[in-house]
A and B are shown apart, each in its own frame.
Chain A
Amino acid sequence: MTAALAASHKIARASWRPLLTGAVLIGLAEAAKHANLLPVFVPSPSEVVMEIWNSPRLVTENLAPTAWKSAMGYFIAAAIAMTAGSIAVSVRAVYGPIYNFGVIIHSIPIIATAPLLALWLGTGPQVQIAIAALASQFPMLVGTMQGLQAADARQRELMHVLSASRVQTLWMLLIPSALPYLFAGLKIAAPSAVLGAITAEWAGADRGVGAMMLYALFSYDTPKVWLSVFLTCFLAAAGFGIWALIERLVVTWQRDVEIAD
C-alpha cells in the first residue's frame, strides 16, 4: 500500500512539469484563436474537445479498433523480434542476416506497402495488424540483440568460474542485463505500432482513427482532423507510458540506456 502510494507520488513528481507545459500551450492556443491570430483551418482546442462532447461514439467506435489492432500487431512483432533477437545472439552465423533483415523491413515505406498487403491479405483488420507489426519490430529486435549482449566480460567470467549452466547464466545474468534494453525497445516501438496501424487504415478500413482522419480530411472537417490527431497522440503516448511505468517498477537498478543501431 505504502509502496503504491510512494510510486504514485513519484509519478506525480515526474509528470507535473509536462502536464503544466501542455496546459499552458493549450491555453495559449485557445487565446490565440479567440484573438483571431490563427488561420481558419486551425480550430481552437475547445472546438476539438466539443467534438468529443457532441459525438462520443465517434471517439469510442474509432479508438477501440485502432487500439486493439495496434496492440495485436505490436505483440506479434514483440514475440517475433525477441525470438529472432535471441537466435541472432546465440547463433553467430545468423546475427548479421537477422539484423539486416530487420533493417530492410524497417526501411520499407509503409504508405506504399499498405495497399499491396491489402491486395494480398484482403481488406480486414489483418492488414492493419500486419503493418503495425512491420512498423514496430525494429526497436524490439535491436533491444533484444543489444540487451542479451549487455552483460560485461567479467560478469560472464564470474558465472563461468562458478561453473554455472547455460540456463543459469541466461536466467541470473543475461536476461536481467537485457531488461533495460528490452524496455527501451518496447517503449520506442509502441508509438510506431499505433502510427503503422493508422497509416494502414488509410488503405481501407471502415473504422479506426486512421479511417476517421481520412473521412474528416476529405470533408474539410478540421476539428475532426485535429481530434483524430489528438487520439493518435493519446494512443501512442499511452503505449509508451504503460511500458515506462512497468520499467520503473521492474528496473530499479539502472535508468535509461540508449539503443544505438
Chain B
Amino acid sequence: MQAPPVAAVPRDIKIEQLSMVFYGRGEPVIALDKIDMNVAAGQFAAIIGPSGCGKSTLLRLVADIMQPFAGSISLGGESPRLARHAHSLGFVFQSPTLLPWRSVKQNIELPLDVVGRGSSKRSTRTTKDLIDLVGLNGFEDALPHQLSGGMQQRVAIARALVLTPDILLLDEPFGALDEITRQRMNLELLRIWAESGTTALLVTHSIAEAVFMSDRVYVMSARPGRVTTIIDVPLPRPRGLAMMRTPEFFDCVNRVRDGLFGNEQGGAPARGEPIEAY
C-alpha cells in the first residue's frame, strides 16, 4: 500500500483573462469575467465562493469539457485539450457519476479500460490498495445501487486516483460525505497529493476545508463570476488535524471569511459588489 506511486509530470495552471458567457433565453449571462489564476506545478489551490459564481464552470473549462468565450488556459504550457488527450487530467464530480452496471472494482478500473492497462500513467497502487484507501473492503463486487451515497463518492475518488493525474480537478468532491469521513478523505487526499506531485484545484463550499487543504485560496464573487481575493496559506506541511486548532489556521480562515463576506466594520467590498480592477 505504501509503494510510491508514479510521479505526475509537473504542470502549472495558468489562466489569463478567462471569460465565459452563456446564451440562453433573454440576456446573455456572464458566468466568468476576466479570471486570472496562477497555480504553480505541484501546488494545491482551492476556489471558494457563493453558488452561481462560476467556480464549477471554471473547473470544467480547465478540464476541456467546455470551451471558453475569451481568454486562455495553459496547463504546463499545453492547451487543456492536449493535456486531456495525454490523460493528464483527473476529475472528481460533485455527484459520484458511477456506471451502474459496473461493480466497485470495475468502476475504479474504468480509466484503465479506457487508457489501457499498460499505460505509463497507471498508478502503482493496485485496485485493492485503492479500495483499502477509501475503506470499501468487502464491497469490491457490489454494484453502485447497493452502496450509500458517501460510499459511491469514495469509489469516484478511488477512480480518479487509478491513473496518476498531473492535474487533479475536484468539484466539491466531499460535499455528500459525513463530517468524519470527509475529514479522513481530506487527510488521505493530502497524503496522495504530496506523494504524487500532482497539481490540485479544489472547488469547495467549506472555508475550513479550503484553508486546510490548500496553499492558496481564490475567493470568488457571483454574477459576474470574478476572483475578488487571493489568500496565500503559509501553514506548514504535512498538515494534520492538530493544525486546525492553531491561531495561524484561524487567522487564515478569518481572512478567507473576510474575503467572502467583506469586513463588516471596515466596510470592505461586499459580495457581488463590482470591483473595478481594470
Contact = CB atoms under 8 A, between A and B. Distances in A.
Contacts of A155: 97, 99
B119 to A, nearest CB: 11
B260 interface: no
By CB atoms of chain A within 10 A, which of B97, B115, B144 has the most?
B97
By CB atoms of chain A within 10 A, which of B87, B93, B99 has the most?
B99
Interface string B82-99: 001101011101010101
B263 to A, nearest CB: 38
A172 to B, nearest CB: 7
B100 A158 contact: no
B65 A172 contact: no
B110 interface: yes
Nearest to B169: A161
Contact of A168 (B65, B90, B114, B144): B114
B99 A172 contact: yes
A254 B111 contact: no
B65 A157 contact: yes
A48 interface: no
Interface residues of A, number: 19
Nearest to B143: A253
Interface string A156-190: 01111111100010001100100000000000000
B264 interface: no
A54 interface: no
A26 B146 CA distance: 41
A2 interface: no
B98 to A, nearest CB: 9
A176 B102 CA distance: 10
Nearest to A155: B97
Interface string A125-161: 0000000000000000000000000001011011111
Contacts of B63: 157, 161
Contacts of B110: 162, 172
Given A162-B87, A253-B101, A172 B113 contact: yes
Given A172-B114, A253-B100, A163 B65 contact: no
A252 interface: yes
Chain B contact-residue range equals 20 to 34
B143 A158 contact: no
A78 B80 CA distance: 42
A163 B111 CA distance: 9
Interface string B133-172: 0000000000111000000000000000000000000000
B113 A154 contact: no
A158 B113 contact: no
A173 B99 contact: yes
A260 B101 CA distance: 23
Contacts of B144: 253
B143 A161 contact: no
B87 A163 contact: yes
By CB atoms of chain B within 10 A, which of A152, A154, A252 has the most?
A154
B121 to A, nearest CB: 11
Contacts of A252: 101, 143
Contacts of A160: 64-65, 84
16 contacts: A152-B97, A154-B95, A155-B99, A157-B60, A157-B91, A157-B97, A158-B91, A160-B84, A161-B63, A162-B110, A162-B115, A163-B114, A168-B114, A251-B101, A252-B101, A253-B101
Interface of A: 152, 154-155, 157-164, 168, 172-173, 176, 251-254
- List the 7 closest A-B pairs by CB distance, nearest first: A154-B97, A161-B91, A253-B100, A162-B114, A164-B114, A253-B101, A176-B101
